[in-house]
Chain A
Amino acid sequence: MADKRLRILVAKPGLDGHDRGAKIIARALRDGGFEVIYTGLHQTPEMIAEAAVQEDADAVGLSVLSGAHMTLFPEVMRLLKERGAGEIAVFGGGIIPDDDAVKLRQMGVRQIFTPGASTEDIVKWVRENVTPRS
C-alpha cells in the first residue's frame, strides 16, 4: 500500500452560510487520518475546481444546503473535467431530496450523504471508495 495520505477538499459552494456540517465533516475526516483542505464559504464552482487541481485533491466533498445542488454539483464536475481532473471523486451532502440524489448519482456524483449520516459512515466511505490519483 502506498503511504500517501488521501487529500480531501471539503468545499462549500453557493451563497448560504450553513457551514456546521462542512466543518464537522472536515474535522472528522482529518481525525480519520486524511489531509483535509477546507475552502471556507461562498465558493463558486470555478473556485472549487481550481482549488481541487491546485491542492492535488483525490476527492472533493461538497456541502450544499441552499437548494442549488442540481446546479452546483454538475457544474463542479464539468469544470473538473475541463481541467483534466475528471477522475477526482466528487461526493457530497446537505438538504438533498432522494429523487435529486438519484439523479446526481446518475450524473457521476459518487455518493450523497443526507441529514442523519454519521461522520463514521462518511470516513469509512472515503476510506473504501477514494483512491489516490497518482
Chain B
Amino acid sequence: MGNKKKWLETTYQQARERPVRFSTVSDMELDPLYTPDDVTGSYDDALGNPGEFPYTRGVYGSMYRGRFWTMRQFAGFGLAEDTNARFHFLLGQGQDGLSTAFDMPTLMGYDADHERALGEVGREGVAVSTVCDMATLFDRIPLDRVTTSMTVNCSASILLAMYLVVAERNGIPWERVGGTIQNDMLKEYIAQKEWICPPRPALRIVTDMIEFCARKVPRWHPVSISGYHIREAGSTAVQELAFTIADGICYVDEAIKRGLGIDEFAQRLSFFWNLHNDFLEEIAKLRAARRMWARIMKDRFGAMNPKSMMLRTHAQTAGASLTAQQPTNNVVRVAIQALAGVLGGVQSLHTNSMDETLALPTEQAVMVALRTQQVIAEETGVTNTIDPFGGSYAVEALTDRMEREANDYIRRIDEMGGMVKAIETGYPQREIAEAAFHFQRQLEQGIKTVVGVNKYSIPEEIPIATLKIDAGIEERQIQRVRKVKRERNSAAVREALARVAEACRSGENLMEPICEAVRRDATVGEVSDIFRAEFGVYKDPGWI
C-alpha cells in the first residue's frame, strides 16, 4: 500500500485539485489514482481469458473479432403496417435484428377498444390486439432468419403465443424460431410498473414460459433479465447490478422448483443492461455482471454447462440521460454510452435517438443512432482487441467494488427471503426512489452537471422536427379489433378461453392453451381478462 499512500500524501497533496466532488453519476466516490495496490485476486480467478470462466473479459473466445454485436433498434408506433415499414427500413439500413415496441394498451393487456386504451393506441409503440395484427407486423419478414426481440412483460405470454402462431402459419416450425421476449416481471414491480396480477401468479406465468420454451421453442430466450428500467427509474449502477442479478436468482430458483435441471434452461436466460453517462462505471458494471453471474450459476446453482454460466446481454443507452434542451447534444451522449457498452462486451445494442425526450424518433434520428453503432464497429478500432480495459487499475478496482457492493444487496435480499418478499415490502422500490431523489438534489445543487440543463444553457432554442402520430390511428385500430371480434367463431373462442382459465386454476402450463386461444382469434385483452379474473389485479401501493 505504501506506494499509493505515499504518493497521495506527498505529490498529490501538493498538486492542485478542483473543489468538486469526484464521484460517478451514481455518486460513488473515486480515488484520484488506482495502482497495482488496488487490484486483488489472481488473473485466472478474477478475470480469466475471453470465453473462459468467470467470463469477466467476455463470453466469447473471439468477441468482436468473430462477429460484431447485433445492432438492434427498438421500434414501434401506430398501426402494425406502420411499424412493419419501419422494420423493413431498418433491415435495409444494415440492422440485423428486430426489436418491437408495443403500445401501452398492448403492454398492459387491453385491446384498443377498451376504455382504458383511450388516447394511448399506437402512441408509445405499435398496437397489437389480435394475431391478425401480429401477422401484419411481421409481414414479409423471414421469422426463421431474423431474430426478434419483443419488449413486453405482463402480457408476454399472449404476444409470444401470437408470434409462434404467425410463424406456424408461415410454415416455420417453432424449433426454428429465434428471439427474445423481455418477460421480466420482477423488475416491473420494482421499476417499469407494467402489471396485471400480483407478483406470485406473475412469476408462475414467467416460469411456465421458461419451461415451455425449454421444451418447445429451444432457440427462444424466454426472459430478458433487465436492469435497464431499474436504472431509468433512478437507481445507482450498483443497485441496477444487484437487483437485476437478484431477479435472475429468483427466476432460476422457480424454474428449479418446477423440476427443470439448471442446464436445461439457464443458457436461454439473457440480460438487458442500461448504458448511462459514467463511462468507466458502466464498463466495470458489465464486467462485474458477467463475473457475478458465472460464479452464482456455478457455485450457487451447480451449473455444469459453461453456457449456463455465460451472461449474454443486450444493452441500451440511457433514455433518462437525454435532454430536451439542445437535443443534438444527445448524439454525443449516445455515442459515448454505446462505446462503454462495446468496451463492456455486450452482444446486442440499441442506441437511442436524439429526439426521444420529445417524442418517438423520426426516421432520420434513428438512422444517426444506428450509424453511431456502425462508426464504433467499423471506424474506431475498439473492436480489434478484446476487453481493452482489462487490466486497467481503475476499471479492475471498480469492477471488484461493484461486485462487492452488489453482493451486499443480494445478501440482504436473501435474508429477507428472496426478491418476491423484498418487493412485497417495497425494499428495492424505496432504495431506487431514494437514489433518484438524491441525484435530482445533486443536480439542483450543481454537484452534478447536465450540459444544457443546469450548465451551458441557452435561452432560445431551434425546435427540431419530431414524429407525429396520426390521431386517426386509434379509431382505425378500434374498428379493426371489432371486425375480428365480429367475424370469428365466438363459441370456439369462448371454449379456448375457458381452457386458459382452467389451466390458471389447475397449474397446467399456460402456454399451449394460450396458443390455441390466439389461434382462434382471442385478443390480448380477453386473455388478460382471464388472468385478472383468476389471479386478481395488482394495484400500485403508491409509495413516495
Q: Chain A: residues with CB nearer than 8 A to chain B?
A: 14-20, 23-24, 26-28, 30, 36, 38-42, 44, 66-68, 70-72, 95, 97-98, 114-116, 118-120
Contact = CB atoms under 8 A, between A and B. Distances in A.
A50 to B, nearest CB: 15
Contacts of A16: 104, 124, 193-194
B544 A15 contact: no
B542 to A, nearest CB: 3
A119 B234 CA distance: 16
Contact of A97 (B325, B437, B466): B466
A66 B123 contact: yes
Interface stretch (B18-26, B114-122, B132-140, B341-349): B114-122
Interface of B: 104-105, 107-108, 110, 115-120, 123-124, 188, 191-194, 232-234, 320, 323-325, 357-360, 433, 436-437, 440, 443-444, 450, 453-454, 463, 466, 469, 539-544
Nearest to B319: A18
A43 to B, nearest CB: 9
B453 A67 contact: no
Given A30-B544, A40-B540, A95-B357, A72 B119 contact: yes
Contacts of A115: 323-325, 357
14 contacts: A15-B105, A15-B107, A17-B188, A20-B232, A20-B436, A24-B234, A38-B542, A67-B120, A67-B359, A67-B360, A68-B104, A70-B119, A71-B118, A115-B324
A17 B194 contact: yes
A132 to B, nearest CB: 22
Task: Please provide the 3 A-B residue pairs with the shortest distance between their CB atoms, ordered closest to farther.
Answer: A17-B193, A71-B119, A40-B542
Given A20-B234, A27-B437, A95-B359, 20 more contacts: A14-B104, A15-B108, A18-B193, A19-B193, A23-B543, A24-B440, A36-B544, A38-B542, A38-B544, A39-B542, A40-B542, A41-B193, A42-B540, A66-B104, A67-B469, A68-B104, A68-B118, A71-B118, A71-B119, A120-B444
B119 A40 contact: no
B120 A66 contact: yes
Contacts of B324: 114-116
Contacts of B444: 118-120
A44 B541 contact: no
Contact of A15 (B120, B437, B454): B120
Contacts, number: 104
Q: Does more than half of chain B's interface fall in helix, strand or loop, or is it mixed? A: loop
Contacts of B194: 15-17
Contacts of B119: 14, 68, 70-72
A99 to B, nearest CB: 9
A66 B106 CA distance: 13
B359 A24 contact: no
A68 B542 contact: no
Contacts of A27: 433, 437, 544
A115 B469 CA distance: 21
A23 B433 contact: yes
Nearest to B358: A97
A97 B467 CA distance: 11
Nearest to B191: A17
A44 B116 contact: yes
Contacts of A23: 433, 436-437, 543-544
Contacts of A41: 193, 540, 542
Contact of A67 (B107, B123, B541): B123
Nearest to B452: A116
A51 to B, nearest CB: 11
A56 to B, nearest CB: 18
B124 A40 contact: no
B302 to A, nearest CB: 36
Nearest to A99: B463
A120 B453 CA distance: 14
A24 B436 contact: yes
Nearest to B539: A40
Contacts of A68: 104, 118-120, 123
Nearest to B109: A15
B434 to A, nearest CB: 10
